[in-house]
Each structure stands twice: as structure tokens, then as C-alpha cells.
Structure 1
Amino acid sequence: MLERELSGAGFETSSDLIKSLPADLFAELCQQIVAHLRCQSGGVDQTHFCQRFQATGVEASTDDIRSVISAVTRLFSTAAKHKLSSDALVNFVLSKYKLPKQILQAIRHVWNEEGKRLLDAEISRDVLSASQLVDFQWKIGMAVSSDSCRSLNHPYITVSLKVADSSGQVISKVFEMSISEFQNFHRQFKEMSAALESV
């Protein structure tokens, strides 16, 4: 059953990259992923890790990093769901993916240190199935010239969101709204806040 759940985790495609990583960098990535799964961080910054990988001489694209983050997130969330010990987790990974000893030690160390807390948490049933808002910023602007817009000198609001998806990858979204759209948006947030306070 565990093998079936992890078959789509992406380890098959990511294992070569994982094998080339320094153990300390892989352990840092694992710790970030577990912290995200425990809702202690907003997500795993794939751009940061892409730069870290490249600084150690490992050539990896952002898509490669995304695959590794997804695979390791799926591994840990599935291990939490099945309440695996660190030995059972490492033995499964070793039998299926033949990762180097240092990488297996990093998995064992992180799972021994952080996995217990994840196992104890209620979220281990179905770890982080929804996205999480990491950052919300807005600014007001004024369009003063445009080739396509007829009505200028009207204020607008630019909203920038950073959202961590279920695998922990942080994605940025930017959109613009008119003042009336922003006021409606604000009103809806106030209603949500009031509803959450009454729960």
C-alpha cells in the first residue's frame, strides 16, 4: 500500500538529482519540508534551494527542484500517515530507490528529530492538502498613460500574494483591482475574520 501511494511521488525522476546532493543540503531541504508539513513555515522556497544547489556545483533547474520538493514532501506526508518509524522509512527508500548512505542518514536523522512531532500532530491524517497564504502585500497606483486604456488617472490596487501549495512550493501571484473591487475584497475578508472569531 505504501509503495502504491509513493509510486507517483516523483522519486523515480528525482532520485538522480537527490543522489548528487551534499547530505547537509539535502538534510536542510528535508527539515524545511517537515517544518512546512507541521505548519511552522509558509513553504519551501524553491528559488533559494535552486541557488543553493547551484552554489554547491549541482546543476538543477527550478522544475528539478520542484520535483525533489514534491517527492520528499510526499515521502514524509505518507510516512506520517502510516506512522512509520525511521527504520521502516529508510528501509523502504533503500529498497526502492537505492539512494546513497549519506542521503539515507539525512532522512533518518530528520525523521528521528522532526518526524515524531509530525506523527503526533493531528494533521498527519492528511497532511496539508490545501494551499497556505505566506505573504500578502498591496500598493495603490495611478495609471497616467496607456496605449490601450481610455480612462486614465483612475487609481488601482496591485495585490501580491505568496502562496505555498500542498508540496510546500512558494508561488507568487500578482493582480490588479479597481478601488471598488478592492473595497469589496476588503469587506469579504472582514466577514471571514468575523466568522472565524465566532468559531
Structure 2
Amino acid sequence: MVGQRSLENMAVLQTIPEGFTIAVETINGIPQDILAELCRDVLLFLQYRLGTVNVGDFHSKLENVESNFSKDAVQGAINALTFIFRSAAIAKVSADVLGRELKGTLAWNDTSLTVVKHLWAEQGQTLMSSETAQQMLNIGQLVDMEWKLGLALSSDSCRSLNSPYVAMTMTVADPSGHHITRTFEMTIPEFQNFHKQMKEMASILETV
């Protein structure tokens, strides 16, 4: 299990998030083709080319091949892969080094290890590019978020609109510490979709 080998000299797995070992057990049980697709989506997410990795879609695919994983288990696998690829990009390690470090934890089977190594060899260089790596290191921090429910009584095109909306105010600290406040409005369906996406992002970021 993870922890049987000292992590002091490892470039990637210097710290391991809670639940990592259980997540790797899930990854080991995912069929090779679905795992490869999952890795690609995680890598696209880290390159800002995909808004989120769809847990529901991958859970359905696993159900179709009679793999008995819960949505929480699939989310854990996504979290672990996100942690691994992000850490590997920041440490700028090759596929061979990443594979050696993962193998050293004694938690990975040969199939899942081969898939992760292959996808990192295929797309890792893009993720390690200076621009992408800088984006990952320079993401602003959400300081405060407020919302209020309002009712739009009229508009330019409708005098009796009576349409509910949500006004959002978000304050973000950039890497220099400067606070930036943005205000925007959303319809109720837009707010519900925003809420769903925020929950999915929070689940991923818990272990990243």
C-alpha cells in the first residue's frame, strides 16, 4: 500500500491526499479503454480545454460494463488522476519517472500504470509548457462570494417582465494579493447549472 516506500526523494508524490489509496484501488478496477478516456478528460481539464470531467457519464459507462463503482468512487478516481497529472506537470517529470514513482508506491497494477504512463507521454509535454504550468501556479483565490435573489419587473422589450434572477458578486485575490470584484446576473436555470458546476469543481479540488 502507499507509504511502504519513503516519499522523501520523490518529485511527484511528495504528499498524498486523503483517500488516495482507495482511489487508486478504484482506478485499478476500471477497464483499460475507459481509464484511457478518463485520463484524457482529466488532462484536457487541466489544460483548460474541458470545463469539468463528467462523473455521471463515466459512472454510466462503468455500469454498462458491469463495473460496480459508486459515483463517489468514480469522483475519487478523477481526484487522484487530477492530483497525479497536476503534480507531474509542476515537477516537470517524464513518463518514465512518473511511472517509476507510481510503481514504487506498490498500489498500482500493471494495466492502470501502463495507461497513465502512456497518456502522460502523449500529452504531458503540452501540460508542462511554460504557459500552461504558469496558469496552474497562478490561479486566483476565491475570497468571497455573495448572491441575492431579485425580480426583474421590466426590460427594454417587455414592460411587465416579472422574471426572477440571481445577482452574484465574487471577490478573487490574484497571485499578487490584489482583490478583484466582479458582479453579474443569471437566470434561475443558469444559476442552477452554475451551482452544479461549482459542486463538481469543489469535489475535484478537495484532493488537488
- Report the alpha carbon displacement of residue 13 of structure 1 after superposing the two structures with TM: 1.4
Of 25, 48, 55, the match for 1:16: 25
Conserved 8 A contact 1:118-1:124: yes
Indicate the residue corresponding to 1:37 in structure 2: 46
Gaps of 5+ in 1: 132-140, 143-152, 170-199
SS of the equivalent of 1:13 reads helix
Conserved 8 A contact 2:59-2:70: yes
**Greater Cα offset, 36-45 or 113-122:** 113-122
- Distance in 1 between the 2:91 and 2:99 partners? 14
After superposition, the CA RMSD in angstroms is 2.8
How many aligned positions are there? Answer: 150
The letter for the 2-side match of 1:156 is P
- Distance in 1 between the 2:202 and 2:87 partners? 13
The 1:45–1:17 alpha-carbon spacing in structure 2 relative to 1, beyond 3 Å, is same
TM-score between both structures, scaled by the size of structure 1: 0.66
1:4 aligns with 2:40: no
Cα offsets for 1:34-78 (capped at 9, x unmatched): 000000111100111111111121111111111111111000000
Q: Which runs of 4+ in 1 moved over 3 A?
A: 128-131, 166-169
Gaps of 5+ in 2: 1-7, 142-150, 153-160, 166-187
The 1:93–1:50 alpha-carbon spacing in structure 2 relative to 1, beyond 3 Å, is same
Cα offsets for 1:115-155 (capped at 9, x unmatched): 11001142325737569xxxxxxxxx99xxxxxxxxxx953
1:156 aligns with 2:164: yes
SS of the equivalent of 2:33 reads helix
Cα offsets for 1:102-123 (capped at 9, x unmatched): 2111111110111110011423
- Distance in 1 between the 2:96 and 2:164 partners? 56
Cα offsets for 1:4-39 (capped at 9, x unmatched): 33x116431112211111111111100000000000
The letter for the 2-side match of 1:98 is A
Indicate the residue corresponding to 1:192 in structure 2: none
- Distance in 1 between the 2:140 and 2:83 partners? 14
Structure ranking higher in helix proportion: 1
- Distance in 1 between the 2:25 and 2:129 partners? 32
Indicate the residue corresponding to 1:165 in structure 2: 201
The letter for the 2-side match of 1:113 is E
1:105 aligns with 2:111: no
Of 52, 55, 70, the match for 2:64: 55
TM-score between both structures, scaled by the size of structure 2: 0.63
SS of the equivalent of 1:4 reads coil
- Distance in 2 between the 1:101 and 1:82 partners? 23
The 1:165–1:85 alpha-carbon spacing in structure 2 relative to 1, beyond 3 Å, is same
